[in-house]
Chains A and B, each alone.
Chain A
Amino acid sequence: MRPEVQAAAGRLRHRGGVERGVLTGVAALRWAAWAWLAGVTIVNLHRIDHPVVAVAAVVATGVVTLAAHAALRGPGWERALRPGLLGLEVAVAFAVIAADGWVRQGRVTGQNLAGLWPLPAILVAAVAGGALWGAGVGVLFTVARAVSAAVAGAPAGQAGRAAVAVGSTAVSWIVVGAVCGTIVRLLRQSQDQLAEAEARERIARDLHDGVLQTLALIERRSPSPDIARLAREQERDLRSYLFDHHRATGGLATELRTAASRLEASWPGVTVTVTVSDDVPALADDEFAAATGAAAEALTNAAKHGNATHVVVFADLDEPSGGLFLSVKDDGCGFDPASVVEGVGLAQSIRGRVEHVGGTVTVASAPGDGAEVRMCFPGARARPRPRSRQGARP
Chain B
Amino acid sequence: MTASYTVVIADDHPTVRSGIRADLGPPFVVVGEAGDADEALALIESLTPDLVVCDLNMPNGGGLRVVRETTARHADGVRVVMFTVSEQERDLIDAVASGAYGYLTKSTPGPELHRQLLRAVNGDPPFAPELATLLLGEFRRVAQKSTGSNPLSDREREVLNLVARGYTYRQVGKELYIAEKTVENHVRNILAKLHLTRRAELVRWAADHGIR
Interface residue ranges, A against B (CB under 8 Å)? 209-210, 212-214, 216-217, 219-221, 232, 235, 239, 243, 271, 273, 275-279, 310-312, 314, 316-317, 327, 329, 331, 369-370, 372
- In the complex the two chains form, what is the Cα distance from A279 to B13 in whole Å? 34
Contact B106–A277 (Cβ < 8 Å)? no
B57 adjacent to chain A (CB < 8 Å):
yes
Contacts of A210 in B (CB 8 A): 13
**Sorted from nearest, which 3 A-B pairs have the closest CB atoms?**
A312-B166, A216-B106, A275-B133
Question: With A209-B86, A316-B133 in contact, do A217 and B106 touch (Cβ < 8 Å)?
Answer: yes
Contact A277–B136 (Cβ < 8 Å)? yes
Contact A220–B13 (Cβ < 8 Å)? no
Contacts of A276 in B (CB 8 A): 133
- Mostly, the B contact residues are helix
Shortest CB distance B143–A (Å): 11
Contacts of B110 in A (CB 8 A): 220-221
- In the complex the two chains form, what is the Cα distance from A66 to B128 in whole Å? 64
- In the complex the two chains form, what is the Cα distance from A139 to B137 in whole Å? 64
The interface bits of chain B over 120-137 (1 if a CB of A lies within 8 angstroms of the residue's CB, else 0) are: 000000001110111011
- In the complex the two chains form, what is the Cα distance from A279 to B105 in whole Å? 22
Contacts of A369 in B (CB 8 A): 171, 174
Contact A314–B165 (Cβ < 8 Å)? yes
Shortest CB distance A242–B (Å): 9
- In the complex the two chains form, what is the Cα distance from A235 to B107 in whole Å? 9
Contacts of B113 in A (CB 8 A): 220
Contact B140–A329 (Cβ < 8 Å)? no
Shortest CB distance B48–A (Å): 28
Contact A273–B15 (Cβ < 8 Å)? no
Shortest CB distance B97–A (Å): 17
Contact A316–B166 (Cβ < 8 Å)? no
Contact A220–B108 (Cβ < 8 Å)? yes
- In the complex the two chains form, what is the Cα distance from A216 to B113 in whole Å? 13
Contacts of B129 in A (CB 8 A): 273, 275, 312, 314
Could you give 29 example pairs across A and B, Cβ below 8 Å? Answer: A209-B85, A210-B13, A212-B85, A212-B86, A213-B106, A214-B15, A216-B105, A217-B19, A220-B107, A221-B22, A221-B110, A235-B107, A271-B109, A273-B166, A275-B130, A275-B132, A275-B164, A277-B134, A277-B137, A279-B136, A310-B166, A314-B133, A314-B164, A316-B133, A316-B136, A327-B165, A327-B166, A329-B166, A369-B171
B23 adjacent to chain A (CB < 8 Å):
yes
Contacts of A310 in B (CB 8 A): 166
- Chain A residue nearest to B89 (CB atoms) is A243
Contact A217–B15 (Cβ < 8 Å)? yes
Shortest CB distance A253–B (Å): 9
Contact A220–B165 (Cβ < 8 Å)? no
Contact A219–B164 (Cβ < 8 Å)? no
Interface residue ranges, B against A (CB under 8 Å)? 13, 15-16, 19, 22-23, 57, 85-86, 88, 105-110, 113, 128-130, 132-134, 136-137, 140, 161, 164-167, 171, 174
| 14 further A-B pairs in the complex, CB-CB below 8 A; given A279-B136, A316-B133, A369-B171 | A216-B85, A217-B13, A217-B19, A220-B107, A221-B22, A273-B129, A273-B166, A275-B130, A275-B132, A275-B133, A276-B133, A314-B133, A327-B165, A369-B174
Contacts of B86 in A (CB 8 A): 209, 212
Question: With A213-B16, A277-B136 in contact, do A316 and B23 touch (Cβ < 8 Å)?
Answer: no
Looking at A275, A277, A331, which has the most chain B CB atoms within 10 Å of its CB?
A275
Contact A220–B164 (Cβ < 8 Å)? no
- In the complex the two chains form, what is the Cα distance from A327 to B129 in whole Å? 12
Which of A212, A214, A329 touches B165 (beta carbons < 8 Å)? A329
- Mostly, the A contact residues are mixed
Shortest CB distance B180–A (Å): 14
Contacts of B108 in A (CB 8 A): 220
Shortest CB distance B4–A (Å): 23
Shortest CB distance B145–A (Å): 14
Which of A232, A278, A314, A327 touches B107 (beta carbons < 8 Å)? A232
- Chain B residue nearest to A330 (CB atoms) is B166
Shortest CB distance A186–B (Å): 36
- Chain B residue nearest to A247 (CB atoms) is B88
Shortest CB distance B65–A (Å): 17
Contact A219–B107 (Cβ < 8 Å)? yes
Contact A277–B133 (Cβ < 8 Å)? yes
Contacts of B134 in A (CB 8 A): 277
- Chain A residue nearest to B174 (CB atoms) is A369
- In the complex the two chains form, what is the Cα distance from A273 to B127 in whole Å? 13
Which of A212, A277, A314 touches B166 (beta carbons < 8 Å)? A314
Contacts of B88 in A (CB 8 A): 239, 243
Contact B137–A217 (Cβ < 8 Å)? no
- In the complex the two chains form, what is the Cα distance from A210 to B132 in whole Å? 25
Which of A216, A275, A329 touches B167 (beta carbons < 8 Å)? A329
Contact A220–B171 (Cβ < 8 Å)? no
Contacts of B128 in A (CB 8 A): 273
- In the complex the two chains form, what is the Cα distance from A212 to B87 in whole Å? 11
Contacts of A372 in B (CB 8 A): 165-166
Contacts of A209 in B (CB 8 A): 57, 85-86
